[in-house]
Structure 1
Amino acid sequence: MEQSAQPRRRSVLKTALATTAVAAGAPLTGLLTAPSARAALPPRGLTSRYTMTAFTYTGGATMHVYEAPDGTAFRPIASPAYAPPSGLLRDPSIMRHSDSRYYVTYTTAWTGNRIGLASSADRLTWTHLGDITLPTAGIGNSWAPEWFLDTDGRVHIVVSLHYTASTDAGTFQPHVITATNTALTAWTEPVPLAGIPTDYIDTFVVRIGGTYHAVLKSTRDMSTDFATAPALTGPWTVWNTGNFVDLDGEGPCLVPLDNGGWRLYFEQYRAHRFWCTDSYDTFRTWSTPMELSGISGTVKHLTVLKERVPGGTTLPAAPHRLRAVNAPDRLWAPGASSVLDLATGGGIALTAVPGLADRSGYSLRVADGRYVRHYGYRLRLDADNGTTVFARDATFTPRPGSAAGSVSLESFSHPGRYVRHREHQLWLDFHRTGDLYEADRSFLLV
């Protein structure tokens, strides 16, 4: 939760204190449990869908809804989607409830003890349900509410609270409120997450097995930190600190990926940019952050919901060749040292078989038994060496291409990276917006 004029949190709060005395698809339980040791692509006939809710730099009173098949290539589906009858709408957090409806909670004002609530059947049209009043005395600010659905079915909201008795404008602390009925019309009083010190805000919680994990923003060090606890209310231990200080990450959000990893989204507040990074060791280490082209510079403080819905792209079992949509005289063909290029001529026949890392994906095999895999983001043909790394690097998820009948191939091991051609060579490149990239990553099966 930040003001659009870019003052730091402390100066914002000091000023504030001075002026105050689902369409088809089921809820995804994978948000609450550990990623499988094996991959977890949806079975054929289903596909993952990532729904993002955010507000923008151009205003703090409307919510916008975006969608992506891969957690990367977000496009607007309702922009704007919702504005409350009065007040602000900032930091919208989305979840899907047991009644199959979608709900958002959000920051309603710079000061006060209320957070907002709205609902939708289709993510496009929203109904204002009213505000949740936090009854604890002395609350001066209620910012950045985030849903957390526990494995026992209970519905919680984690919200950052600042009390008027505090003289330090940075002393926010995460608290949790819990719904006491399924209609979400009655809530407990806020309970602090014990063990998390003050000076933390924007707290997002997931559960992996029997351990609760939180990612949260330090207002003191401007870092993204991580904490764990045996129970939602604690005791929490902050254990991984000092991350992404150079990017001044705001509004962190965690989402499980199809390949068993987790993706972290966050806003680089001062630069108006948005990033994502992936972890495969329970938040100990992270990939190099990649900018989310298309929404970076537009959205602020988002939350992403992952579901499985009917759909998906399939590849035929018979051998085919792949022709570039925007270079129709060139097909995939072996080059020097077993790399794959685009070349004129007959190309090489590829047979789509169940993915080596996940049978719901695909691996591409040639007649001599070698597979298409990436190495250093370059595509090549190699024999299966039986390793997990090879299996993951040789598995792809097909997506619709930019032209009718064309396909794009997303890397299983590096979600958001697609096979594309540049200078007639085949590479894995991270998604970016623009007609050239979309065409470069689209191929026709011939």
Structure 2
Amino acid sequence: MKLLPFFTLIVSASTAALQQQQQEPHEERNETEVVRRAVDKPYVFATFTSEHEQKSNEETWLHIYTSDDGKQFAEYAMNAYKPAQGLLRDPSIIKDGDTYYVVHTTNWSGDDLAVIKSKDLKNWVQVSNVKTGVKDTEKVWAPEWFRDPTDNKIYVYVSIKTKQENFAPYIYTTNGDLGSFGTGEKLDVYNYGNGVGQPHIDMFVVYKGDDKDTPYHAFMKNEKEKHIEHLTSKTAKGTWNYVQTNNALGFGKREGPTVTVLPDGKWIMWMDNYHGNYLYSTSDDLSHWSDSVDMPSHNKVFRHGTVIRQ
């Protein structure tokens, strides 16, 4: 992994948080990082499109959109990348130094995920295909980057289904670069409530430093009930505890949550309404959310992706 230049401890922590869009509201921006952006727009959205689920010809292209305010997105690089084989679904984007990396789902079934990179958001090259290393892996869905602002480590959370067990989230630590991962670790979030197992996918993690006891927040889709649920933890690896389950967030059936901070300091969550449209909701505390509404632009072509505030 390419680490950011170490100017001071404070600048390093601030840069890490800004790049992974999980900084505290009103955090100072590092002007060095602003100069190294590929675009002036502060928000970058990596996504794909699909009108008909499981038609692979509709799930192979990476699209990049940008925004000034985090809500109105404009096209920047359409059809920016297509893998040589397999699919490109659920792209998660992160900026490391002057390079952008996307990790994505490669197929409906299989035992790997893929990493690509670009300096200009338009020209992408493959970095690696990474095997899960988990015995009897059948499906690998929705990998998501997370940079921990406390130590600058970069992780990938991913949903894995094996022959013996339904979907459960795993965490991988990057090894020296963003194309090589250590051994996957299964997270302790599979069972909740009365102990009845529920499969979960689409784990997205943010850091909220003013929550002193449990600053790590995760949002995952309950694959059985189709609701986005809320968990918290003391560390990036857990143990994770459910704080809002079933439809406690009030969104109804949604998937693919991605969360960042708006210019006014509020949190915003985008979510995929399966094949119909893309929606967003805002919050002051990550627990109480506004009613979800359609994105004001392009909402009918977006699918599960990730937004960063750079």
TM bin, normalised by shorter chain, reads 0.7 to 0.9
In 2, Cα distance between equivalents of 1:244 and 1:34 = 21
Task: State the 1:179 CA deviation.
Answer: 0.8
Task: State the 1:186 CA deviation.
Answer: 2.7
| SS across alignment from 1:300 | coil
In 1, Cα distance between equivalents of 2:189 and 2:169 = 10
When residues 42 and 273 of structure 1 are mapped into structure 2, their CA distance, relative to the original with a 3 A threshold, is farther
Task: State the 1:262 CA deviation.
Answer: 0.5
8 Å CA contact retained: 1:105, 1:115: yes
When residues 243 and 83 of structure 1 are mapped into structure 2, their CA distance, relative to the original with a 3 A threshold, is farther
Matched, 1:294 2:287: no
Matched, 1:274 2:273: no
**1:378-393 equivalent positions in 2, closer than 5 A:** none
8 Å CA contact retained: 2:117, 2:125: yes
Task: State the 1:32 CA deviation.
Answer: 3.7
8 Å CA contact retained: 1:216, 1:225: yes
When residues 174 and 291 of structure 1 are mapped into structure 2, their CA distance, relative to the original with a 3 A threshold, is same
The partner residue of 2:235 within 208, 216, 231 is 231
The partner residue of 1:34 within 3, 21, 24 is 24
- Deviation per residue, 1:329-380 (Å, 9 max, x gap): xxxxxxxxxxxxxxxxxxxxxxxxxxxxxxxxxxxxxxxxxxxxxxxxxxxx
**1:420-439 equivalent positions in 2, closer than 5 A:** none
Normalised by the size of structure 2, how large is the TM-score? 0.81
Task: State the 1:195 CA deviation.
Answer: 3.1
Decide which moves more: 192-201 or 70-79: 192-201
**What residue number does 2:286 align with?**
283
| SS across alignment from 2:207 | strand
**What residue number does 1:164 align with?**
163
| SS across alignment from 1:29 | helix
**What residue number does 2:207 align with?**
207
Q: Which runs of 4+ in 1 moved over 6 A?
A: 39-43
**1:118-157 equivalent positions in 2, closer than 5 A:** 118-151=116-149, 152-157=151-156
In 1, Cα distance between equivalents of 2:136 and 2:89 = 22
8 Å CA contact retained: 1:117, 1:129: yes
**What residue number does 1:88 align with?**
87
- Deviation per residue, 1:191-231 (Å, 9 max, x gap): 12213434111110011125110011111222111100011
8 Å CA contact retained: 2:157, 2:171: yes
8 Å CA contact retained: 2:22, 2:260: no
Which consecutive residues of structure 2, in runs of 5 or more, have no partner in the other structure?
A: 1-13, 35-39, 52-57, 192-197
**Higher RCO (CA-CA < 8 Å; seq separation 6+):** 2
8 Å CA contact retained: 1:193, 1:232: no
In 2, Cα distance between equivalents of 1:304 and 1:284 = 20
In 2, Cα distance between equivalents of 1:277 and 1:95 = 22
| SS across alignment from 2:298 | coil
Q: Could you tell me which amino acid in structure 2 is paired with residue 157 of structure 1?
A: V
In 2, Cα distance between equivalents of 1:41 and 1:115 = 32
Decide which moves more: 171-180 or 186-195: 186-195
In 1, Cα distance between equivalents of 2:43 and 2:135 = 38
**What residue number does 1:240 align with?**
244
Which consecutive residues of structure 1, in runs of 5 or more, have no partner in the other structure?
A: 1-25, 308-446
In 1, Cα distance between equivalents of 2:203 and 2:254 = 12
In 2, Cα distance between equivalents of 1:131 and 1:88 = 12
- Deviation per residue, 1:97-121 (Å, 9 max, x gap): 1x32000000001111100110000
Larger Rg: 1
Task: State the 1:178 CA deviation.
Answer: 0.5
Matched, 1:303 2:306: yes
The partner residue of 1:216 within 220, 223, 226 is 220
Matched, 1:252 2:249: no
In 2, Cα distance between equivalents of 1:299 and 1:139 = 29
Matched, 1:57 2:29: no
| SS across alignment from 1:235 | coil
| SS across alignment from 1:195 | coil
When residues 68 and 42 of structure 1 are mapped into structure 2, their CA distance, relative to the original with a 3 A threshold, is farther
In 2, Cα distance between equivalents of 1:261 and 1:40 = 15
Percent of aligned pairs sharing the same letter: 27
Task: State the 1:150 CA deviation.
Answer: 0.8
8 Å CA contact retained: 1:117, 1:131: yes
The partner residue of 2:168 within 173, 193, 202 is 173
| SS across alignment from 1:294 | coil
8 Å CA contact retained: 1:32, 1:150: no
In 2, Cα distance between equivalents of 1:165 and 1:119 = 34
Q: CA RMSD in A?
A: 2.2
**1:257-406 equivalent positions in 2, closer than 5 A:** 257-270=262-275, 272-280=276-284, 282-307=285-310
8 Å CA contact retained: 1:41, 1:258: no
Normalised by the size of structure 1, how large is the TM-score? 0.57
